[in-house]
Amino acid sequence: MKKIHAYENEKITLTDPYYINATEKVVANVLSLDPEKFLAGFYENAAYACGEEITLKKLRYGGWENTLIGGHTFGHYLTALAQSIVNPVVSDEKKAECKKRLDFVISELEKCQKKTVGTKYEGYLFSAILPDESFKNKIDLQFDNVEKRQGDIFKQAWVPWYTMHKILQGLLDVYTFTGDTRALTLSENLGKWISRRVNAWDNKTRANVFSIEYGGMNDVLYQLYAVSKCDAREDFLKAAHQFDEDALFLKVQKNTPNAMNNTHANTTIPKFIGAMKRYEATGDEDYLNYAKAFWTMVTKKHTYVTGGNSENEHFGMDNVLAAERTNINNETCNTYNMLKLSRGLFEITGEKKYADYYENTYLNAILASQNPETGCTMYFQPMATGYQKVYTRVDKDFWCCTGTGWENFTKLQDSIYYRSEEGGKETVIVNNYVSSVLDAGFAKVKVDCNFLKSETVKIKIEGDNSFCLKLRVPEWTDETLVKTSADCEKTDGFLCFKNKADIEVTFPMEMKALGLQDDENTKAFKYGPYVLSARLGTENQETGSVGMWVTTASKKAVENDDVKITNGQTVEEFMKNLNQNFDISEENEIPVWTLKGCDRKLEFIPHYLQHKESYGIYWRWN
């Protein structure tokens, strides 16, 4: 089904110091967590499944982990440990720690699952709290309540299928990355429990389940179907399809106006990842078309300059973005999932637009979501001007974006290099420009790149250089001005070099202004691949809380984001002459762009390097 395949993470070594630090910090955070506190809920559920008494050695973590959604970050924890084990940046000592941690966790989950054998819960693994006797008497009561459309998140059900998705995905990732067949067996047994339940749904029950967030259950069950060889494999396929929301898929494919208005974004994106996975599993092109239509709708009608989307976790009306700039835009989980979708669509289609989106979002939303001093990450990324970034606390804030943050920064080498077969010979594709080394087996490809210091990418090939090396021409450069040190073919936005050992390519960069659909005078700036944000100091910073205990920035550093042009130019003229309307300097090796000809002195830096100060990405020009 796939035209192109990403190289495995273990074959890619990052050499950029910023990325190495980002990886090391998050691995240290993950290893600082106590697995027994995550396992406490699994122990408790397993004991009640078989009628045992239990005395826990350690209590579960607090926050979301001590609620009816308990267990969701544990799934991400499994994935982060597995990704760390195969990450060349991680030291041998830390890899050994991660492996020891995973071995322990998997063996304990085996014990928990074994206790369900011969009971009505056979195969069941779950760790959410059991708030009263009714839950202790029926440990899967959350799932019953969802089927009855009962959704009191403290007393009835939060999002059990969302949590189940994370647990099953984490187990599958352990198998995928490390080859641990115990994790696959755990996945298959859990998949059997899931299949017995969901394959018995009638239409009303299924509709009730669809009314509450269920994560990427279709996605993960299609993955299980693809790797399993057990006798329940076809049941997994049927169960996956039970989570395919065809009415929504068709609505999006028809490009229905405001099709996603007021839909929960992180509920919706995984559904279409699942549609893409159904195409991979069955070859049904309708589902590929659903995923492609959704990607286009999100990126064209609902996406900010960073590549992020949503306000207060929800999509709004089509092309309404300026009006929805607040302190709670761009949930990072949405970005994580949009990158999964984009990577998959690029592998299937080979279309450059998916890779362009990936680069922009990876750099300006994902890399921008971490504090490099602590390794902690963000939930929301405000698009309203004047707020600061707010980060998780390692052992306190077990939000959804905490877990995806662990994943994001244990796989920073992901999706840099791809391979395809053309004319019987392997083609290596450089898709994302990060200093790194690919060990392709027959050759090593070394990329040296830092666009903050130079427009030139240097590539050195060691070994067999007879293959075709394809370089993506970024959407932010002028293809007609690209300079290469050697002859190459240009095809569909890629440069193809053959029989070369050393290559240099220069991608010219310039300042660009990008407006929003509902207010063209609300502009953001990009320099080459970098979204810029103005530094607004550390005064007037406060935090508050929204939703379920999510900490957010709550006080603006500025009264407004209006900028008046004072040099006699119109807005249109000013934006056409951007490169002349900034002075460029350097501070601690970071470039600083200072705005000229306006009534505000604004200093911009790359947004991913903006960590402590309040910031402004968007400004309204007049």
Q: What is 434-501 written as a DSSP string? A: -SEEEE-SSEEEEEE--TTT-SEEEEEEEE---SEEEEE--TTS-GGG-EESS--EEETTEEEEES-S
Burial level of 57, CB count in 10 A (0-12/13-18/19+)? exposed
Q: Are strands 489-491 and 494-498 parallel, antiparallel or unpaired?
A: antiparallel
pLDDT digits (tens, 9 = 90+) for 601-615: 999 999 999 999 999
Residue 1 in this model has a pLDDT that exceeds 80:
no
**pLDDT band with cut points at 50, 70 and 90 for residue 426:** confident
pLDDT tens sequence across 506-544: 999 999 999 999 999 999 999 999 999 999 999 999 999
Helix axes 181-198, 233-242, angle to 10 degrees: 60
Give how far the C-alpha of residue 301 lies from the chain's centroid of Cα atoms, to the nearest Å.
Answer: 19
Calculate the alpha carbon distances from 460 to 46, 88, 487, 503 in Å.
Answer: 54, 19, 16, 6
pLDDT digits (tens, 9 = 90+) for 143-181: 999 999 999 999 999 999 999 999 999 999 999 999 999
80 contacts 410 by C-beta, under 8 angstroms: yes
Q: Are 332 and 409 in contact (CB under 8 A)?
A: no
> Rounded to whole angstroms, how far apart are CA atoms 156 and 142?
6
Cα three-residue angle 600-604-607, rounded to 5 degrees: 135
pLDDT at residue 356 greater than cutoff 90: yes
**Residue 217 host element (H or E):** helix 217-227
**pLDDT for the residue numbered 301:** 98
481 CB-contact burial (10 Å; exposed 0-12 / middle 13-18 / buried 19+):
exposed
| DSSP characters over 56-72 | -SSPPPSGGGGSTTTTH
What gap in Å lies between CA 148 and CA 445, rounded to an integer? 55
Q: Name the DSSP class of 381.
A: -
Mean pLDDT in the chain?
96
Q: What is the pLDDT of residue 423?
A: 63
Q: Which amino acid is at 609?
A: L
One-letter-per-residue 3-state SS of 108-155: HHHHHHHCCCCCCCCCCCCCCCCCCHHHHHCCCHHHHHHHCCCCCCCC
Cα–Cα distance, 145 to 139 (Å, whole number): 12
Task: Give the separation between CA 143 and CA 165, rounded to whole angstroms.
Answer: 13
pLDDT digits (tens, 9 = 90+) for 306-346: 999 999 999 999 999 999 999 999 999 999 999 999 999 99
Amino acid in the structure at residue 537: G
| Ranges 53-57, 151-155, 488-492, 566-570: which has the least confidence | 53-57
Alpha-carbon span 402 to 391, nearest angstrom:
9
H or E stretch including 420? Answer: strand 417-422
Say how far residue 571 (Cα) sits from the centre of its chain.
35
Q: Which residues pair with 456 in a beta bridge?
A: 506
Q: CA-CA distance, 522 to 321, in Å (whole number)? A: 10
Instruction: State whether residue 320 is helix, strand or coil.
Output: coil
Give the pLDDT confidence score for residue 421 in this predicted structure: 82
CA–CA dist 155, 189 (Å, integer): 28
**DSSP conformation letters of 183-195:** HHHHHHHHHHHHH
The two tokens of residue 621 are 């020009």
Structure tokens at 175: 């198998």
Cβ atoms within 10 Å of 39's Cβ, excluding its own:
24
Q: Give the residue ranges of DSSP H helices in 228-331.
A: 233-242, 246-253, 265-282, 285-301
Write down the residue that tokens 């699942």 correspond to: 274
Extract the tokens encoding 227.
Answer: 């790797």
pLDDT-derived band at 427 (thresholds 50, 70, 90) equals: very high
Q: How far apart are CA 124 and CA 228, in angstroms?
A: 18
Task: Tell me what percent of the residues of the chain surpass a pLDDT of 90.
Answer: 96
CA gap 403, 553 in Å, rounded: 20
Q: Tell me, what DSSP letter sits at residue 421? A: E
Q: What is the DSSP string of 220-250?
A: HHHHHHHH--STTHHHHHHHHHHT--HHHHH
